[in-house]
Amino acid sequence: MAQEATASGIATDPGPKTEAGNQTITLDRVVIRFAGDSGDGMQVAGARFTDASAAFGNDLATLPSFPAEIRAPAGTLPGVSSFQVQIADFDILTAGDAPDCLVAMNPAALQKNLADLRSGGTLIVNTEAFDERNLAKAGYEKNPLEDQSLAGYRVIEVPMESLTKEAVKDSGVSGRDVLRSKNFLALGLLAWLFSRPTEPTIEWAEAKFKNKPQVAAANVAAFKAGYNFGITTEATKVTFEVKAAQLPPGTYTNVTGNTSLAWGLIAAARAADLPLFYGTYPITPASDILHELSKHKNFGVKTFQAEDEIAAIGSVVGAAFAGNLAVTGSSGPGIALKSEGISLAFQTELPLIVVNVQRGGPSTGLPTKPEQSDLLSAIYGRHGESPLPVIAAASPSDAFLTAVEAARIALKYMTPVILLSDNHIANGSEPWLLPDLDKLPDISVPFATVSNTSNGFLPYLRDFDTFARPWAIPGTPGLEHRLGGLEKESNTGNVSYDPANHQLMTDSRAWKVANIANDIPGVEVARGDRDTDGDLLVLGWGSTYGTIRAAVRRCRLDGIPIDQAHLRHLNPFPANLGEVLARYERVLIPELNTGHLLRLIRAEYLVPATGLHKVAGVPFHISEIETKIHSMLGETRS
Partner 1 sequence: MTTVTAPVEVGHSRADFQTDQEVRWCPGCGDYTVLASVQNFLATVDRPREQFVFVSGIGCSSRFPYYVNTYGMHSIHGRAPAIATGISTTRPDLSVWVVTGDGDALSIGGNHLIHALRRNVNLKILLFNNQIYGLTKGQYSPTSEEGKRTKSSPVGSIDHPFNPVSLALGAEASFVARTLDMDRNHTTEILQAAYEHKGSAFIEIYQNCNVFNDKAFIQLTGKEERVHNRINLEHGKPVTFGPGDEKAVVLDGAEAKVVDTASVEPSRILVHDETRPNPAVAFSLSRLSHGPYGPTPLGIFRRVSRPTYEDQLEHQVAESIAKKGPGDLATLIRSQGTWTVGQNGHSNGANGSNGAR
Cross-strand pairs, 276: 325
Least distance in Å: CB of 412 to partner 1?
Answer: 18
Least distance in Å: CB of 201 to partner 1?
Answer: 8
Distance set, CA 380 to CA 374, 570, 600 (Å): 10, 12, 11
- Residue 373: HSE in the Cβ half-sphere, 13 Å Cα cutoff: 23
- Is 318 a binder of partner 1 (CB under 8 A)? yes
Candidate segments 62-70, 101-109, 318-326, 365-373, binder of partner 1 by CB under 8 A = 318-326
Buried b (16+ CB within 10 A) or exposed e, 262-297: bbbbbbbbbbbebbbbbbbbebbbbbbbbebbbeee
Least distance in Å: CB of 219 to partner 1?
Answer: 12
Candidate segments 181-189, 314-322, 497-505, 516-524, binder of partner 1 by CB under 8 A = 314-322
Distance CA 438, CA 432 (A): 17
Binding to partner 1, residues 499-558 (CB under 8 A):
none
Binding to partner 1, residues 444-463 (CB under 8 A):
450-454, 456-457
Distance CA 430, CA 417 (A): 26
Binding to partner 1, residues 167-196 (CB under 8 A):
none
Angle, helix 42-56 to helix 199-208, in steps of 10 degrees = 130
- Is 252 a binder of partner 1 (CB under 8 A)? yes
DSSP-derived secondary structure for 69-96: SSSPPTTSGGGEEEEEEEEESS---SS-
Closer to partner 1 at the Cβ: 312 or 378?
A: 312
Q: Is 594 exposed, middle or buried (0-12, 13-18, 19+ CB in 10 A)?
A: middle
Least distance in Å: CB of 637 to partner 1?
Answer: 39
Binding to partner 1, residues 482-501 (CB under 8 A):
482-486, 494-495
Q: Phi first, then psi: what are they for 109, rounded to 5°?
A: -65, -35
Binding to partner 1, residues 560-579 (CB under 8 A):
none
H/E segment holding residue 230: helix 213-233
Residue in 121, 226, 323, 595 binding partner 1, rule: CB under 8 A? 323
Candidate segments 311-319, 538-546, 577-585, 589-597, binder of partner 1 by CB under 8 A = 311-319
Residue in 125, 419, 479, 537 binding partner 1, rule: CB under 8 A? 479
Q: Residue 260: how many CB atoms within 10 A of its CB?
A: 29
Least distance in Å: CB of 504 to partner 1?
Answer: 20
Closer to partner 1 at the Cβ: 52 or 158?
A: 52
Per-residue binding letters, 41-80, with partner 1 (x by CB under 8 A): ----------xx-xxxx-----------------------
Q: Are strands 562-567 and 536-541 parallel, antiparallel or unpaired?
A: parallel
Q: Phi first, then psi: what are they for 526, rounded to 5°?
A: -95, 120
Distance CA 509, CA 498 (A): 16
- Is 1 a binder of partner 1 (CB under 8 A)? no
- Is 411 a binder of partner 1 (CB under 8 A)? no
Residue in 137, 270, 369, 569 binding partner 1, rule: CB under 8 A? 270
DSSP-derived secondary structure for 494-554: -B---HHHHHHHHHHHHHHHHGGGGGSPPPPPB-TT-SS--SEEEEEEGGGHHHHHHHHHH
H/E segment holding residue 610: strand 610-613
Least distance in Å: CB of 110 to partner 1?
Answer: 31
Closer to partner 1 at the Cβ: 316 or 505?
A: 316
Residue in 69, 157, 161, 206 binding partner 1, rule: CB under 8 A? 206
Candidate segments 312-320, 531-539, 561-569, 581-589, binder of partner 1 by CB under 8 A = 312-320
Least distance in Å: CB of 399 to partner 1?
Answer: 12
Binding to partner 1, residues 333-352 (CB under 8 A):
340-341, 344, 348
Q: Are 319 and 326 in contact (CB under 8 A)?
A: yes
Contacts with partner 1 by CB under 8 A: the residue count is 88
Candidate segments 36-44, 359-367, 480-488, 500-508, binder of partner 1 by CB under 8 A = 480-488
Binding to partner 1, residues 225-244 (CB under 8 A):
244
Closer to partner 1 at the Cβ: 57 or 365?
A: 57
Closer to partner 1 at the Cβ: 145 or 306?
A: 306
- Is 306 a binder of partner 1 (CB under 8 A)? yes
Least distance in Å: CB of 195 to partner 1?
Answer: 15
Cross-strand pairs, 37: 80
Distance CA 551, CA 155 (A): 31
Q: Write the secondary structure of 395-462 as one string of H (helix), E (strand) and C (coil).
A: CCCHHHHHHHHHHHHHHHHCCEEEEEEEHHHHHCEEEEECCCHHHCCCCCCCCCCCCCCCCCCCCECC
Residue in 194, 321, 471, 573 binding partner 1, rule: CB under 8 A? 321
Candidate segments 106-114, 317-325, 362-370, 571-579, binder of partner 1 by CB under 8 A = 317-325
Closer to partner 1 at the Cβ: 463 or 519?
A: 463
- Is 257 a binder of partner 1 (CB under 8 A)? no
Distance CA 315, CA 485 (A): 16
Binding to partner 1, residues 285-304 (CB under 8 A):
296-302, 304
- Is 211 a binder of partner 1 (CB under 8 A)? no
Least distance in Å: CB of 205 to partner 1?
Answer: 7
Please list, in sequence order, all residues whose beta carbon lies within 8 angstroms of the beta carbon of residue 582, skipping any fewer than 6 positions away.
605, 607
Residue in 154, 165, 481, 613 binding partner 1, rule: CB under 8 A? 481
- Is 315 a binder of partner 1 (CB under 8 A)? yes
H/E segment holding residue 27: strand 23-27
Binding to partner 1, residues 4-33 (CB under 8 A):
none
Residue in 117, 205, 335, 523 binding partner 1, rule: CB under 8 A? 205
Least distance in Å: CB of 350 to partner 1?
Answer: 9
Distance set, CA 290 to CA 233, 281, 428 (Å): 46, 9, 17
Candidate segments 273-281, 377-385, 503-511, 534-542, binder of partner 1 by CB under 8 A = 273-281
* CA dihedral angle for residue 284, residue 288, residue 291, residue 296, rounded to 10 degrees: -150
Least distance in Å: CB of 456 to partner 1?
Answer: 6
Quick check: helix, strand or coil at residue 150?
coil
Buried b (16+ CB within 10 A) or exposed e, 303-319: bbebeebbbbbbbbbeb
